[in-house]
Amino acid sequence: TMLRVAIMGLGSYGTRVAEAMEACKKAKLVGVISGTPSKITDWQAKYDIPEKNCYNYENFDAIRDNPDIDAVYIITPNALHHPQALRVAAAGKHVICEKPMALNAKEGREMVEACKNAGVKLLVGYRMHFEANTLEVIRMREAGAFGEIKFFQGLSGFRIGDPTQWRLDKALAGGGAMMDIGIYSVNGARYMIGAEPEWVTAQETKTDPVKFKEGVDETIMFQFGFPGGVVASCLSTYSMSNLDRFFLNGTEGFAEMQPSTGYGPIKGKTHKGPLDKPHITHQTVQMDRMAEIILEGDTAKVAVDGEEGLKDLIIIDTIYKAVKSGRKEKIKLG
Ligand code: NAD
């Protein structure tokens, strides 16, 4: 059996996911939800999507009565994830939602609750959790190859263009670089170290207040404390191109990855040698694994559910709080 997926939001990333899904063995694109009729007809032709599986943002609640769609993959601007996920859950369909799962922890919690109450799964598009070299570093860490983990560095950024895009609009993005790209270092610190941060300090710098308006962060440096004195140091920015590097160090060795979260191939090495697992399109592996998680209830070694997305939102809320207060802030994940 295949997971039959409808994509909501036929923008640049939705297009990438749809193309990657053509190589999937367990997931299939069968429907679309879009506000642009011409995109719908293009996608219908390209992916052989029947008229009855096409919806717009006004009428997609009717997906409830469509037995041929199992899950909706929400790939719209950040602020829409929460209201759209609640509607998909109410329609009784599984929710796959892009990162950031929502704008803040309050919204994230409501999404987790709504999906639980509706009896549907909620997964977040954290594709790195399925990437082979990333999984190899995690496997090595769990096997003790790096000794006791002591330090992680995460650098996440790109130079953002068009100042009129939704990513630079606080109402649609919920923030700036942190919501969009800094989240990779937040989530990465957790999966690379294999623990949850207890506190954070953070500092913001802004060189262009015209492009990066109030509430839209350009650059934030942040530091986490983990149990046992483990520390992490991270940078989130919209002002440096191709900033994409993870570094993990323990008492016995290290792993470094650059690029570490881009579309790949992920490259890097450990003190034992190069990371050389073959590259497979991330979104292909992600959607096949998500199909297994949803259809077969396979949750082994996967940290991409709503609870995980919510943890990142709690941490990001606390980073913004630490930027404002200038103090070390406690992270309350419980
Ligand atoms: P995009 O601007 O290319 O596409 C967004 C789509 O949403 C467009 O088709 C647009 O028409 C549609 N849309 C619907 N309602 C809208 C509204 N009110 N305002 C603006 N657009 C509206 O953006 P994208 O790069 O595809 O990003 C979409 C989501 O995917 C974001 O949440 C982003 O963080 C996430 N994303 C994830 C990855 C990843 O690697 N996991 C990569 C890129 C983007």
Strands 273-274 and 268-270: antiparallel
What's the token pair of residue 256? 């470094």
Q: How far apart are CA 284 and CA 17, in angstroms?
A: 8
Amino acid 297: pLDDT: 80
What percent of the chain is predicted at pLDDT more than 70?
Answer: 99
* Closest residue CA from atom 38 of ligand 1: 13
The answer to whether residue 72 scores a pLDDT higher than 70 is yes
pLDDT, tens digit, 9 for 90 and up, residues 186-197: 999 999 999 999
Amino acid 1: pLDDT: 87
CB of residue 125 inside a 6 A radius of ligand 1: yes
Amino acid 302: pLDDT: 60
CB of residue 13 inside a 6 A radius of ligand 1: yes
Ligand 1 atom at shortest distance from the alpha carbon of 126: 41
Kindly report the average pLDDT of the chain as a whole number: 97
| SS3 call for 210 | coil
Residue with tokens 């986490």: 224
Residue 182: HSE in the Cβ half-sphere, 13 Å Cα cutoff: 31
Q: If you measure from the C-alpha of residue 58 to the centroid of ligand 1, how many angstroms do you get, rounded to a whole number?
A: 18
User: Active site includes 184?
Assistant: yes
Q: If you measure from the C-alpha of residue 275 to the centroid of ligand 1, how many angstroms do you get, rounded to a whole number?
A: 31
Q: How far apart are CA 110 and CA 83, in angstroms?
A: 10
Ligand 1 atom at shortest distance from the alpha carbon of 14: 26
Give the count of beta carbons closer than 10 Å to the beta carbon of residue 200. 25
Q: Spot the catalytic one: 73, 126, 184, 191.
A: 184
Amino acid 327: pLDDT: 98
Q: How far apart are CA 96 and CA 290, in angstroms?
A: 9
| SS3 call for 174 | coil
Q: If you measure from the C-alpha of residue 302 to the centroid of ligand 1, how many angstroms do you get, rounded to a whole number?
A: 24
Amino acid 303: pLDDT: 80
Handedness of CA 46, 49, 50, 52 (dihedral sign): negative
Mean of pLDDT values over 98-127: 98
Amino acid 300: pLDDT: 61
CB of residue 11 inside a 6 A radius of ligand 1: yes
pLDDT, tens digit, 9 for 90 and up, residues 252-288: 999 999 999 999 899 999 999 999 999 999 999 999 9
Amino acid 334: pLDDT: 80
DSSP readout, 258-321? SSSSSSS---EEETTEE--PPP--HHHHHHHHHHHHHHH---TT---BHHHHHHHHHHHHHHHH
Q: Are 135 and 191 in contact (CB under 8 A)?
A: no
Residue with tokens 């409501």: 110
> What domains are defined for the chain?
3-127 (3.40.50.720), 128-278+305-330 (3.30.360.10)
Q: For the chain, where are the alpha helices, taking DSSP H only? A: 12-21, 37-47, 78-90, 105-118, 132-142, 170-173, 177, 183-193, 282-296, 306-325
* Closest residue CA from atom 35 of ligand 1: 98
CB of residue 14 inside a 6 A radius of ligand 1: yes
Residue environment code for 60-89, b if the CB has 16+ CB neighbours within 10 A, otherwise e: beebeebeebbbbbbbbbbbbbbebbbbbb
ipTM of the prediction greater than 0.85, yes or no = yes
CB of residue 158 inside a 6 A radius of ligand 1: no
Amino acid 23: pLDDT: 98
> How far, in whole angstroms, is CA 216 from its chain's centroid?
19
Plot region of 48 (φ>0 → left; ψ -120 to 50 → alpha; else → beta): left
CB of residue 107 inside a 6 A radius of ligand 1: no
The answer to whether residue 299 scores a pLDDT higher than 80 is no
Q: Spot the catalytic one: 55, 93, 99, 238.
A: 99
Q: If you measure from the C-alpha of residue 334 to the centroid of ligand 1, how many angstroms do you get, rounded to a whole number?
A: 30
CB of residue 121 inside a 6 A radius of ligand 1: no
Between residues 15 and 300, the one the model is more confident about: 15
